[in-house]
Amino acid sequence: MGTGALGGFYGARLCRAGCDVHFLLHSDFEHVRQHGLVVDSKDGDFVLPRVQAYRDVRDMPRCDVVAVALKATNNHLLPSLLPPVLAEGGVVLLMQNGLGGEEEAARAAPGHTVLAGLCFLCSNRVGPGHICHSDYGAVRFAQYAANRAVAGVSDSMRAIGQDFAAAGIEVDLLEDLLLARWQKLVWNVPISGLSVVLNADTRELMADPHTRDLAEDIMREVVAGARSCGRHIDDSFVRKMLDMTVAMKPYRASLKVDFDDHRPMEVEAIYGNPLRAAQQAGAHMPLVETLYRQLKFLDARNCGMRA
Amino acid sequence: MGTGALGGFYGARLCRAGCDVHFLLHSDFEHVRQHGLVVDSKDGDFVLPRVQAYRDVRDMPRCDVVAVALKATNNHLLPSLLPPVLAEGGVVLLMQNGLGGEEEAARAAPGHTVLAGLCFLCSNRVGPGHICHSDYGAVRFAQYAANRAVAGVSDSMRAIGQDFAAAGIEVDLLEDLLLARWQKLVWNVPISGLSVVLNADTRELMADPHTRDLAEDIMREVVAGARSCGRHIDDSFVRKMLDMTVAMKPYRASLKVDFDDHRPMEVEAIYGNPLRAAQQAGAHMPLVETLYRQLKFLDARNCGMRA
């Protein structure tokens, strides 16, 4: 569901590897139905001239795995999107940023297993059905369990992981979803937010000592937030994230891409939900809250400016 | 010294009231020497076709009062600017934003009294020698004393205050400079900084609940910073500042005007110096520090973009 920079990339790779993939599309439906998908990738370009494309879930077959690659800002649609396409015993695979999406998916698909796929991917949709994959690509799988429990590695995780691995994707199977989510936030919260507020890419943010220090302090706050939710992230992880950001090609985070294109930003998923989770656990994240408020202001004005 | 939106306005008003005013100018010198000053003011427009204009302090007579209306970013010039123009027993009147300017003036003019004039003025330089005064105008005078001491109301304050009052300016004589400086920062720190970072005017910042709350939290942090320096600002003052900001005509703070014109911002005076003063007193201002770092980043990039 959602055939953009992320869903289109992984879907096309699975499809090319022989999986039976059905693509749900919105604005690109007509184009993709006629011309298929084009993937320019650092791992090798390829074209799928014909794919199984749908505009409406009611036209789709029931599926064993429903990969949700919508923006988290569209999660209010899950109750109407998921039930019609989930086969009995079918699994929801949520491939989104931020915190709280699995709860929404679990509520929308009661009785179904919910997995998360945390994607470390630099890709962009450069035109209808046209994806440019510039860097990385690994997916870390973890299973959702209610009440912040650790679900461990399940058979469906293994099976889906094998499909992705067969498609040439680097795969990791994790015991603890919540830990993985918070780890990803350590990078995402400071870098995505500052890139929007300051209109800057990763290289600029790391080159200036003030924003580098600010990013580091925000990372440490996120680590403290994780701790309040019972998840330990080592101090060395912050160092590792900073070094990685310095080393990476200048990159425009997906939050920034959405902002630049006047689309709603995933502010609640990446900022609001972690803030509330930490707050409920008695932890205070003043720097994250500052970014949250700045982004809420910019998001409201930005969406008002949409054509 | 400095005949812009602020120095030009007060200088012209004093001049019109009969004071012997000598204007130091930089870029507008040639124009003002030939055409004088034009003031469009909500208190009544007026023109001074001829004023005593100078480009170099070495051409100026020695003065009883040297009003410094330069941006704080130019305070490194004070040691060369002040000594040639100060008469024996002459007084420095610093009309600037932020913290720390009086220390710099006192070092640059040893043995001379340093006063501050805290200006509550909405005015803009709309062209060479042309000032538009849109709102407010009061000046609060206070005397500088070393080591954060309270200097009380002095005779030179009274004398200068009388000249301003005779020029139709609302005047206030204050006992405690440091308290007045921190009070002014309560408004200036959140509103000026957020207006730059979010490219917003006062009305937009107050209309959005997230930025309104953020501004309030930053105000409270500044109040705590003042407390760490031994100055008590009542909680009701924060309320008053918020109400005033909601009520005022949409206004572009001077920091924002400088940023928009690609001039250096007074980031150290308004943010760096208060941060360091509070830090030395053991107080932490994480929200102010976040704004400071964001502004440092923007200032460095912005000045790099100057023509």
- For every residue of A40-53, DSSP letters joined together read EETT--EEES--EE
b/e string for B237-276 if b means 16 or more Cβ within 10 A?
bbeebbeebeeeeebbbbbbbbbeeebbbbbbbbbbbbbe
Ordered by start, the domain boundaries in chain A are: 7-175, 179-304
Mean pLDDT, residues B256-272:
96
- Residue pLDDT, tens place only, A278-295: 999 999 999 999 999 999
Instruction: Return the closest-CA partner of residue A66 out of A46, A88, A47.
Output: A88
Cβ–Cβ below 8 Å for A214 and B287: no
User: For chain A, which residues score pLDDT lower than 70?
Assistant: 306-307
Fold of A7-175: Rossmann fold (3.40.50)
- Quick check: A294 contacting B, CB < 8 Å? yes
Measure CB to CB from residue B293 to each of A211, A296, A300 and give the nearest one: A211
Cβ–Cβ below 8 Å for B211 and A297: yes
pLDDT score at A249: 83
Q: Is residue B127 over pLDDT 50?
A: yes
Among A293, A296, A302, A303, most B C-beta atoms within 10 A, so best to mutate, is A293
Q: Is residue B122 over pLDDT 80?
A: yes
Secondary structure (3-state) at A88: strand
- For every residue of B20-72, DSSP letters joined together read --EEE-STTHHHHHHH-EEEEETT--EEES--EEESSGGGSPPEEEEEE-S-G
- Residue pLDDT, tens place only, B89-105: 999 999 999 999 999 99
The rounded percent of chain A whose pLDDT value lies above 90 is 95
Secondary structure (3-state) at B115: strand
Cβ–Cβ below 8 Å for A290 and B292: no
Q: Considering the domain B179-304 in this protein, what is its CATH number?
A: 1.10.1040.10
pLDDT score at B307: 44
pLDDT score at A306: 57
- Residue pLDDT, tens place only, B247-259: 988 878 889 999 9
What are A256's two structure tokens?
């920034």
Q: Is B184 a catalytic residue?
A: yes
Q: How confident is the model at residue B285 (pLDDT cuts 50, 70, 90)?
A: very high
Distance CA B94, CA B268 (A): 16
pLDDT score at B249: 83
Mean pLDDT, residues B6-31:
97
pLDDT score at B306: 56
pLDDT score at B23: 98
Cβ–Cβ below 8 Å for A290 and B214: yes
pLDDT score at A166: 98
Q: Which residues in chain A are closer than 8 Å to B296, comparing Cβ atoms?
A: 208, 210
Nearest chain A CA: its distance from B208 CA (Å): 7
Q: Is the dihedral of CA B78, B80, B81, B87 positive or negative?
A: positive
Cβ–Cβ below 8 Å for B298 and A198: yes
